Amino acid sequence: MKRTLPLLFLLAAGAALAGPYDQPYSIIENDPIHSADPNVIPVIVNRVDDRNALSPQRAVVPPGTHQVTVDVPPRKGFHTATQHTFELVTEPCMRYYISAKLHSQVGQEWDPIVRGKDRIGECEKKFAIKR
């Protein structure tokens, strides 16, 4: 009994230290490529499922359905940032690039858009995911 107790503590501690890259994952991030369309602008990835993102550029999440909150900083002529939350279904080992599509150049209204997605090769290799 005395020998199994420390082993149980070690197993529990190892499970508590599991990170987002220890199972198949998806990445949601702002689109780093500047758009030629002046109505498509960068966003800040704020939260996913009411958990703060790892950085203003990205969030690492398990595959599935997520509530993603993104911000657009104040634009010229405006004093407040704007924010939208939208639903995104992510696949394992995929990266999603998010931007904002303005309704017009002179307003603050916009919609979040997924401008693209890429496969994450190291994730596919690590978890033997075939496409």
- Reported as a pLDDT band with limits 50, 70 and 90, residue 33 is very high
What is the full DSSP assignment across 14-62? HHHT--TTSS--EEEEE--SPPSSTTEE--EEEEETTEE-SSSSEEEE-
| pLDDT at site 114 | 98
Cβ(92)–Cβ(64) below 8 Å? no
Domain ranges (residues) in the chain: 20-126
Q: Is 57 exposed, middle or buried (0-12, 13-18, 19+ CB in 10 A)?
A: middle
Q: Please indicate whether residue 11 or residue 18 has the higher confidence score (pLDDT).
A: 18
Q: Is the pLDDT of residue 3 over 70?
A: no
* pLDDT average, residue stretch 19-44: 95
Q: Is the pLDDT of residue 29 over 60?
A: yes
Q: What is the pTM of this model?
A: 0.84
- Reported as a pLDDT band with limits 50, 70 and 90, residue 77 is confident
Task: Report percent pLDDT > 70 for the chain.
Answer: 87
**What is the number of alpha carbons within 13 Å of residue 13 lying toward its C-beta?**
6
For 38, the token pair is: 């002046």
